[in-house]
Amino acid sequence: MPDRAPFQHPSQIEPHLPPMTVRLTELATEVVRASAQLGGGLHPLTQQSIASILYNMNSYYSNLIEGHQTRPRDIERALQNRLSKDQGVRTLQLEARAHIEVHKAMERRLHSEPELKISGSEFLRWLHREFYSRMQPDAGERASLHSPANVAGSFREQDVEVGLHIPPRWESLPAFMQRFEEVYSLENFANIERIIAAAAAHHRLTWIHPFIDGNGRVTRLFTQAYLIRCGVSGHGLWTISRGLARHRDRYFALLQSADVPRQGDYDGRGNLSERALSSFCEAFLEIALDQITFMRDSLRLDNLGAATKRYVAERRLHPRSERLLTTLLFQGSLSRGDAGELLGFRPVRARHYLKQMLVDGVLRSSSPKGPLQLNFPTHVAEVLFPRLFPAE
């Protein structure tokens, strides 16, 4: 541990934003435009069903950034409380499940508390506490994610080193976090500026490093909340974590480069490099746009139609099932009678094939006689969205 950290005054986090260059403005504008088009043509119920699998995806890639690779099917089993007897796999399952639960709880707070200060210490400590409280070891086991000095929901009370970076002294964290809340409050920015502020705040929160453990995870959840409040979440149909994980080395290098002090008189007027912050924000928005584009292409109706046909063939469902599944993409739900008519069979035979699809998992219903909707468990998502997760 360092004897003395160099940063003690909140002014040392400046600049808070990069210059609003043409490139940054164009990228932010395109993120807004592209995210608004996500899921077009799909029924809102279908959008919600697809968004539900992105909780798992976000958890998978957020864990991967931390160097923890959890198999998508193990994540699904964790949500069903089917935890592995292998302690290592079990810990990763608990980690993934905790992340998904906190992500959902976060979205509920954003919906129910429109005045919530998402850049404030209360919200950030809440994210940390919600995650680590869910990671408490069960059956007397100790979760490997816990540092002895890490207290759920509490800022660190010691100085630390993070690679080459020495974050602010722990005694000065309240002042730094107060400044962080003030400068990154959403009401400070116009619409396009908000998108760029989301990227800048992502770096500056990692730079402050307010917790002993879990800073990266909290920062990504905070950034997700920020993007939701910016109105660019695209109905929950994309996530930044996939892009950051796929460019992990570049992401870490950019974070580190934006830690550097100002490089001469032509590098802004703050303590930190303005050029490096601008480069980080550009890369962040490029990655965001890449992920939105990826999901836009995955959700194109012709791609979904071809994937549905492939799924029916691979699972050996009746060929007429393709027509039903494709219709549900646009209509969201169908009564069992309408679904049977669409299959073109007499009732008894139609019920047989509907039951086959319910057992398979591609269809779901809230009751034995209730309407039918599409469902996207892992084995379905792997075929319909083959690049969502890496092949196992």
- The answer to whether the bond into 15 is cis (omega within 30° of 0) is yes
Q: For residue 288, which of 337, 352, 220, 340 has the smallest C-alpha distance?
A: 220
- Strand partners of residue 334: 372
Is residue 97 within 8 Å of residue 122, measured between CB atoms? Answer: no
- 8 Å CB contact between 140 and 195: no
Helix ranges, the chain (H): 22-36, 44-65, 72-79, 87-112, 121-134, 173-184, 191-208, 215-229, 240-246, 248-257, 274-298, 301-314, 321-331, 336-343, 347-360, 378-384
What is the spatial distance between Cα 246 and Cα 232, in angstroms, rounded to a whole number? 21
Q: Nearest to residue 222, comparing CAs of 289, 115, 125? A: 125
Domains of the chain by start residue, with CATH = 10-298 (1.10.3290.10), 301-384 (1.10.10.10)
CA 17 to chain centre: 23
Distant-in-sequence, close-in-space partners of 310: CB < 8 Å, separation ≥ 6: 383
Give the pLDDT of residue 146.
53
Q: What CA–CA distances, in Å, run from 255 to 8, 159, 252, 323?
A: 20, 20, 5, 48
Q: What is the pLDDT of residue 78?
A: 95
Q: How far apart are CA 182 and CA 179, in angstroms?
A: 5
Q: What is residue 147's predicted lDDT score, i.e. its pLDDT?
A: 60
Q: Are 291 and 239 in contact (CB under 8 A)?
A: yes
Which strand (E) or helix (H) includes residue 333? strand 333-334
* pLDDT at position 288: 97
- 67-96: per-residue pLDDT in tens? 998 999 999 999 999 999 999 999 999 999
Q: What is the pLDDT of residue 391?
A: 58
C-alpha–C-alpha distance, residues 365 and 73, integer Å = 22
- Residue 207 contacts by C-beta under 8 Å, 6 or more apart in sequence? 13, 165, 167, 258, 259, 272
Residues of the chain scoring pLDDT < 50: 1-4, 139-145
pLDDT of residue 392: 53
Nearest to 307, CA basis, from 353, 351, 362? 362
Which residues are paired to 329 by β-bridges?
none
Angstrom CA distances, 47 to 229, 299, 389, stand at 19, 10, 18
